[in-house]
Amino acid sequence: MKIKTIFSTLLLGLIVTTTSCTKDNYDAPESTLMGRIVYKGEPLQLRGTSEAIQLQLYQDGYEKHDPINVFVGQDGVYSAKLFDGEYKMVTRDHNGPWVNSRDTTIIQVKGNTTHDVEVTPFYTISNADISLAGNTVKANFTINKVAGTKIDRIILLMNTTNFVDDVWHNILRADDADRESVWNAEGAYSMEQDLTNNDAFQKAKTVFARVCVWSSGADQGIYSPVVRLK
């Protein structure tokens, strides 16, 4: 009886182990869906840290209907490993510096598949020129109104790494806000900061910068490309 019990226990353990291995040995997805968030074919510059900007993918025919969250980088580029098949893509609800249209796009993924997501931003930034002269940083850029009604704030940001946004800025965050010239800003705009007494700047071996325009009511701002100043 004792031998039979031991044998039964070993057999049960073998079955459990085999079942667990079978569950763990599914093939990983090998196809890649990639693309950009664009306006008129041009990629938008975004906040890329803390998984701030997300797209969502859904696939019919499965009991689980939770979305596959796809994170977008600060250069507007996204990428996801998927199985071949048909997917429905939408932007995350009320997420991003653009009109919350959430149009559904059907995408057939087979092998490496490219799909750009066209959105209508509240504002865009063009002709950005950020320069460093001694201890003074200057930013000149153009604010283009697309679908926005009012600007909440305009921000000049500096960091020691090339990830720069309203959260990652260990050297400088300078906000222009709470005045009519900011609320209705459009066209050429300039910002300037003296960094003489900024210890983080004085100690930094590398310095990166960009500017941000934050539309009133939006959960995210639109950015200029990151530039290296030092």
pLDDT at 60: 85
Cβ contact 48:75 at 8 Å: yes
Which residue type occupies 163? Answer: F
DSSP state of 126: E
CB neighbourhood size of 175 (10 A): 16
- Predicted confidence at residue 177, as pLDDT, reads 95
Question: DSSP class of residue 93?
Answer: T
Say which residue the tokens 């009886």 belong to: 1
**Positions in the chain short of pLDDT 70:** 1-26, 62-64
For position 211, what pLDDT does the model report? 99
CATH number of 29-116: 2.60.40.1120
User: What's the distance, CA 21 to chain centroid?
Assistant: 36
Beta strands 117-118 and 85-91 are unpaired
The number of C-alpha atoms within 13 Å of 11 and in the hemisphere containing its C-beta is 6
Domains 29-116 and 121-226 share a fold: yes
Tokens of 211: 């500017």
CA dihedral 223, 52, 70, 77 (to 10 degrees): 20
- d(CA 132, CA 209) in angstroms, rounded, equals 10
Q: How many CB atoms lie within 10 A of CB 133?
A: 8
To which residue do tokens 């930034």 refer?
Answer: 125
- Using only C-alpha atoms, the chain has a radius of gyration, in whole angstroms, of 24
Alpha helices for the chain (secondary structure H): 2-24, 180-183, 199-203
State pTM to two decimals.
0.86
**CA–CA distance, 53 with 24 (Å, rounded to integer):** 31
The pLDDT, as a whole number, for residue 97 is 98
Which pLDDT does position 20 carry in this prediction?
43
Give the tokens for residue 181.
């010239």
Distance CA 208, CA 171 (A): 9
Rounded Cα distance, 17 and 11, in Å: 10
Residue 15 φ then ψ, to 5°: -65, -45
pLDDT at residue 28, as a whole number? 85
Residue spans of the domains in the chain: they are 29-116, 121-226
Q: Which CATH number fits the domain 121-226, given the four candidates 3.40.630.30, 1.10.10.10, 3.30.1360.170, 2.60.40.2060?
A: 2.60.40.2060
Kind of pairing, strands 151-159 and 208-215?
Answer: antiparallel
